[in-house]
Structures are given as C-alpha cells and as structure tokens.
Amino acid sequence: MAKSADKVHSRNGWAPLTDSTANRTSLTLDSVLGSVEIVEETAEKFARNAGFDEDTASQIAMVSREAAVNAIVHGNKYDPTKRVNASFEITDKELTIQIADEGPGLDPEGIPDPLAPENILRSSGRGIFLMRAIMDEVHFRMLHPGTEIRLVKLRVQKEIHQ
Amino acid sequence: MSMKFITREVNGVTILDLSGKITLGEGGLTLRDEVRSIVAKGSKKILLNLADVNYIDSSGLGELVSAFTAVKNAGGELKLLNLTKKVRDLLVITKLLTVFDVKDDETAAIAAFA
C-alpha cells in the first residue's frame, strides 16, 4: 500500500508561510479515484495558503484534479501496483504542483486542440487545455516510465494588487 | 458531493434542476444517463438548470457536450439555464459558450424552444 495521505499531512501540516518547512509536502497515492480528491483538497489548501483568492484557488484545485485524473485514469489506468506521486510547494514567487504517474508516457503535443471547430463537440480532451489556461506554466517531463506534470502559478500578480 | 437532480416538465419542456458537482465519476454518469433516458422517452426539449451547480471539471464539460449532441442527434434541443460564475468561466475558456444556447430566465428559456 501507498503511504496514507494523513500521515504525510500530519508530518508537514498546514502551517503559515513563515515556517518554510511547512510550505512543501509530498504524497504517494494509490491509483484510485479517491486519490483525486486528496490531490484536489491539498492543492486548494496550498493555493489558499499561498494567498490566492477563493475563485483562483478553486481553479488551481480543479486543474490539479485534472492532472490527477490523467495520472490515475490515463497514465496508471487504475493499476493497483502503480502509484501517483504528488508534491506541492509554495515559494516567495510561486505555487508549484507536480503530479507524476508510472504509466506509458503522454505526448502533450499529440492532443488535439479542443477549441478547433472539428473538436469543439468532443466529449473529452479539455483537461490539459484547462491546465494551460488557468496556470502560468505547465511543463511535462517523461520519466521512462511515466509522465510528470508540473503546474506553476505565480504569486507576483497577487502582490502587485496588495 | 456528487450531483443531484430533480426532473419536471413545463409547457412540453423537460427541465432538469441540477445541484452539486458535475465531475468524473458518479455525478457525470448520472447526467448522461438521465438525459439519454429523457430522449428515449420521446422528449426533445430539454433545459438544464445549472443554478446550483457549483463545480464542474473537464469530464463534466464533456458530459454537457455529450448530452447536447445526444439530444441534437435525436432531432431535439438542449439549452442551459442559470449558469454560476464558475461554470460560465469554464464555458468561456473552452469556447463552449458559443455552442450552447444559454438563458438566464426560465420563462424566456421555455419560450425559446421551437
């Protein structure tokens, strides 16, 4: 079994930004849909801790959910022997969320543009598009095996408004 | 929390009052199944009231599109009513707002069906 998220949470906690060690956590999760909820909730808490407003935090949580769904459903294909690693980090400049699976690998360039007229009525294929629309940076790394998605949201814009 | 819905009929239009989340899993499958069931029973005017849908993801967007095309392919019409800001924002980002006929008033929405 993978480590329970609760153990990891209790080790790192949700302390305020003043404690730098509390601004990072890593989870090793089973390839089940319940893990999607854990990633989503953790992402939302980190986004709020990073100072993003409720709407933005909700959007960050939603695209983190998309990444977790990709990892579990399309990457690991619910394989009970495969894990999903999720890490969350707040720095002075940004919030970074990384989701890695152990699947066959994803070619992000091979995904059709969901805005193209011929694709607009497709029932799937909008997850990565939403990640790119909502986050400031989306990076893919091939792990051989597996895919790592790194989602970055800059905190700078928030500071400008303060 | 998964999605819940209540189905009612007004002036020949089947209205689904949805609440909760439309996401991957039970909620989304419920919407797809319900819309297909309504179409199978012969109703071709369907209005999805999304006033209490506070969350949707890409799978949920896919469910809305699937419902739209299923109704359209059966010769019917599916419209959306009362989008929350979160849902509207995602429909704008994905350009699906250009696909759906979206209304903000139930009476006007019912009158808009051919």
pLDDT digits (tens, 9 = 90+) for B43-54: 999 999 999 998
- Return d(Cα B65, Cα A107) in angstroms, integer: 25
Query: Is the pLDDT assigned to residue B32 strictly greater than 50?
Result: yes
The helix, strand and coil proportions of chain A, stated in percent and rounded to the nearest 5, come to 40, 20, 35
Please state the rounded mean pLDDT for residues A2-6.
43
CATH number for the domain harbouring residue A29: 3.30.565.10
pTM: 0.86
* pLDDT tens column, A18-59: 344 569 999 999 999 999 999 999 999 999 999 999 999 999
CB of B99 within 8 Å of a chain A CB? The answer is yes
Q: State residue A6's pLDDT score.
A: 39
Helices (DSSP H) in B1-112: which residue ranges?
A: 26-40, 58-73, 85-93, 106-112
Query: Is the pLDDT assigned to residue A4 strictly greater than 70?
Result: no
CB of B23 within 8 Å of a chain A CB? The answer is yes
For residue B21, the chain A residue with the least C-alpha distance is: A62
**Smallest Cα distance from A131 to chain B, Å:** 10
DSSP A118: T
Q: How many structural domains is chain A composed of? A: 1
Architecture of domain B4-112: 2-Layer Sandwich (3.30)
Please state the rounded mean pLDDT for residues A2-26.
50
**Smallest Cα distance from B78 to chain A, Å:** 14
Please state the rounded mean pLDDT for residues A141-157.
92
Largest CA-CA distance found in chain B, in angstroms, rounded = 35
Percent of chain B with pLDDT over 70: 95
Pairing of strands B4-10, A137-142: unpaired
* pLDDT tens column, B60-86: 999 999 999 999 999 999 999 999 999
- Return d(Cα A44, Cα A57) in angstroms, integer: 5
How many beta carbons lie within 10 A of that of residue A159, not counting itself?
11
Beta strands in chain A (DSSP E): 24-30, 83-90, 94-100, 137-142, 147-154
CB of B85 within 8 Å of a chain A CB? The answer is yes
Contact yes or no for B99 and A129 at CB 8 A: no
Q: State residue A21's pLDDT score.
A: 52
Query: Is the pLDDT assigned to residue A82 strictly greater than 60?
Result: yes
Q: Which residues in A lie closer than 8 A to residue B86 (C-beta atoms)?
A: 55, 58
The minimal CB distance from B57 to the residues A62, A114, A129 is found for: A62
At B15, which amino acid appears? I
- Return d(Cα A131, Cα A50) in angstroms, integer: 18
The domain ranges of chain B are 4-112
ipTM rounded to 2 decimals? 0.88
**Smallest Cα distance from A130 to chain B, Å:** 8
| Of B18, B42, B40, B41, nearest in space to B30 by CA | B18
